[in-house]
Amino acid sequence: MNIGFDSKKYIEIQSEKIKQRIKMFGGKLYLEFGGKLVDDYHAMRVLPGFEPDIKIRMLEKLKDEAEVIFCINANDIVRKKIRADHAISYDKEVLRLIEYLRSIDISINSVVITLYNGQVGIEKFRDKLKQCKVQSYIHTFTKGYPTDIDTIVSEEGYGANPYIVTTKPLVVVTAPGPCSGKLGTCLSQLYHEYKNGVKAGYAKFETFPVWDLPINHPVNIAYEAATADLKDKNMIDFFHLEKYGVKAINYNRDLEVFPVLKDILHRITNEDIYFSPTDMGVNVIGKCISDDKVVSEAAKNEIIRRYYRALNDYKTSIGDIEACESIKLLMNQLGISEKDRKVVAYALEKKEKSLENAVAIELQDGKIITGRKTELLSPTSAAFINAIKYINKIPDDVHLLAPSVIMPMIEVNKKVLSKVDSVLELDQVLIALSICSVTNPIVKGAMDNFDKLNGAEAHSTYIVPRRDLEVFNNLKINLTSEAEF
């Protein structure tokens, strides 16, 4: 894989930038942490060389000074909103992140449930947090927001929220996804800190858009594609341009809320701290891009992947057609199309020739492997087996799965699980391989090389089951699908 991003440099200068911002406020900073805290696969895909755990590694350098507050929107808990890359709900993602951060000795302060309005099911989630020995707080809608500053910055507004006691210089406020109330939580805490005579500051750490890349750079356009469902748009930060004469890129929601935010911060701190949304940020991503051509191509590929995901979401009634149309316009702007994703044509051709659904996988060396549905295997399973055989130079006539293992599983699918289609799905194939590896050294060797699938591209001629998508994600294979059941 061609590398276009310097992760080592990023960790060093990003952590130093945050330390400088802590000092700027006299030793106490609430840092709104946007994007994915862990497993930032979008950044990994558009910035080859960006490691998915890089933000955590950066925080580990600061862990003696840092503690974490999680925010989650009460409405997202109730409707079981799903984090697409892990296919788990936001509430479960919070619990997963808490467990992970504790395992690497990063301090967890609490969880704030925002926009609470008596929704059913919230107490059950709070009970789970209590079992995990995590303090939880409830924030309701801030009275007066966004127009009545006097009420917002008063005991009726931010003052109505409970004060969260923090002890570290850096308080990272993060969430499982967007629109979770991170900003409101930061400002509420600032209000209480100043009320108690403690000077504290606020800053924002957003990975995208990259403020010092052009507005039409593929990396920034890929951010628009990724947030098409939120209708985010990249824009010139006109506040920054007016104040400093420098073009910087931000997005519509930050620009829209900045005048209100600036007024609120002034009312709380009695001084003007920031003059533009870009001023608030501590993002140094742009300074760590080592090969612009590599990241530009990677970002274009990601936009096409996002288009397929939007089509799938629309087909399954998760998303709307407007998101698909928005991403298509972005593709037109860059002069790219679905045809630029090579695996698409191979998968469709395989289906046309075999008259069965198919999957194509493009490996790191450029080789494209296909697989179709058979009497025993699903298309994803067949393509996966074929790819593993190619990587390990195993002849086609050598069977990785022993009939003595496969057939009982097929029978279970038919008779116990009552599946209409009894073929082995991908997760079942992995179980079968693990069983066969105990007695077959060839299978054991093949399983040891699963990591060689990392970064592979794949395309399916049908919408794959969620469990297959989870396996592909865990193997770091970038899968897209035709919007067909």
Render pLDDT for 190-204 as a digit per residue (tens, 0 to 9). Answer: 999 999 999 999 999
Query: What is the rounded CA–CA span in Å between residue 207 and residue 205?
Result: 7
Q: How far apart are CA 80 and CA 64, in angstroms?
A: 34
Q: pLDDT at position 39, please?
A: 79
Q: Is the pLDDT of residue 85 over 70?
A: no
Residue 407 is predicted with a pLDDT of 84
The DSSP-derived string for 143-209 is TTTTT-HHHHTSTTTGGGSPPPP--SSEEEEE-SSSSSSHHHHHHHHHHHHHHTT---EEEEE--SS
Of 254, 330, 276, whose CA–CA distance to 34 is shortest?
254
Count Cβ atoms within 10 A of the Cβ of residue 436 and give its class: 0-12 exposed, 13-18 middle, 19 or more buried.
buried
Mean pLDDT across 251-255 = 92
d(CA 122, CA 285): 37
State yes or no: pLDDT of 415 exceeds 80.
Answer: no
349 belongs to a structural domain: yes
pLDDT band at 7 (very low <50, low <70, confident <90, very high): very high
| Same-domain status, 75 and 153 | yes
**Model confidence at 414: pLDDT above 80:** no
Q: Where are the alpha helices (DSSP H) in 247-320?
A: 252-269, 277-280, 292-315
Q: pLDDT, tens digit, for every residue of 135-171?
A: 999 999 999 998 899 999 999 999 999 999 999 999 9
In the listed set 271, 288, 305, which residue is the last one of a domain according to the structure?
288
| 60 and 183 fall within a common domain | yes
Alpha-carbon distance of 422 to 433, in angstroms, equals: 18
CA distance 171 to 168: 7
Q: For the residues 342-365, what does the mean pLDDT come to?
A: 96
> How would you label 166-205 residue by residue, b for 16+ Cβ within 10 Å and e otherwise?
bebbbbbbbbbbeebbbbbbbbbbbbbbbeeeeebbbbbb
One domain, residues 397 and 249: no
Work out the pLDDT band at 82, boundaries 50, 70, 90.
confident
Q: Tell me the mean pLDDT in the region 453-481.
A: 93
Pairing status of strand 234-236 against strand 29-33: unpaired
- Please say whether the dihedral angle defined by the alpha carbons of residues 149, 114, 178 and 329, taken in this order, is positive or negative: negative
Angle of helix 379-391 versus helix 466-474 axis, rounded to 10: 20
* 185 lies in the same domain as 281: yes
**Predicted local confidence at residue 394, as pLDDT:** 94
Last residue of a domain, one of 288, 306, 321: 288
Task: Assess whether 349 and 280 both reside in one domain.
Answer: no
For the cut 70, the answer to whether the pLDDT of residue 8 exceeds it is: yes
Terminal-to-terminal C-alpha distance of the chain? 33
Please give the Cα distance from 58 to 464 (Å, whole number): 35
Residues 260 and 403 in one domain: no
Distances (CA, A) of 355 to 352, 373, 374, 465: 5, 9, 11, 20
CATH number of residue 373's parent domain: 3.40.140.40
Domain of 159?
A: 7-215+232-288
Q: Is the pLDDT of residue 119 over 90?
A: yes
Residues 152 and 242 in one domain: yes
Q: Write down the pLDDT at residue 84.
A: 65
Q: Which residues of 42-77 are buried (b: 16+ CB within 10 A; e: fewer)?
A: bbbbbbbbbbbbbbbebbbbbbebbbbbbbbbbebb
Q: Is residue 305 part of a domain?
A: no
**Which CATH number do you get for residue 184?**
3.10.630.10
Same domain, yes or no: 243 and 348: no
Residues 209 and 349 in one domain: no
In this predicted structure, what is the pLDDT of residue 1? 74
Does a structural domain hold residue 317? no
pLDDT for residue 409 = 84
Is residue 467 scored above 90 in pLDDT?
Answer: no
User: Residues 461, 379: contact at Cβ < 8 Å?
Assistant: yes
| pLDDT band, very low/low/confident/very high, at 238 (cuts 50, 70, 90) | very high
In a domain? residue 200: yes
Rounded average pLDDT over 296-313: 97
Helical pair 7-24 and 54-61, crossing angle rounded to 10 deg = 50
Residue 310 has pLDDT above 90, yes or no: yes
Residue 321 maps to a domain: no
Beta bridge pairs of residue 372:
358
Average pLDDT, stretch 283-311? 96
Domain annotation covers residue 335 = no
Q: Is 410 exposed, middle or buried (0-12, 13-18, 19+ CB in 10 A)?
A: middle
Considering the domain architecture, whether residues 256 and 381 belong to the same structural domain is answered as no
Domain boundary among 266, 288, 310: 288
Are both 349 and 274 inside the same structural domain? Answer: no
Assess whether pLDDT exceeds 90 at residue 260. Answer: yes
Split at pLDDT 50, 70, 90, the class of 318 is confident
Asked if residue 311 belongs to a domain, the reply is: no
Mean pLDDT of the chain: 93
How many independent structural domains does the chain possess? 2
Mean pLDDT check: name the lowest of 56-65, 102-111, 342-351, 414-423: 414-423
Measure Cα distances from 153 to 149, 196, 257 in Å: 6, 14, 16
Mean pLDDT of 122-137: 96
Question: Is 83's pLDDT higher than 80?
Answer: no
262 shares its domain with 383? no
Residue 226 lies in a domain: no
pLDDT tens readout for residues 321-340: 999 999 999 999 999 999 99
Say how far residue 366 (Cα) sits from the centre of its chain.
26
Tokens 């499982």 — which residue? 176
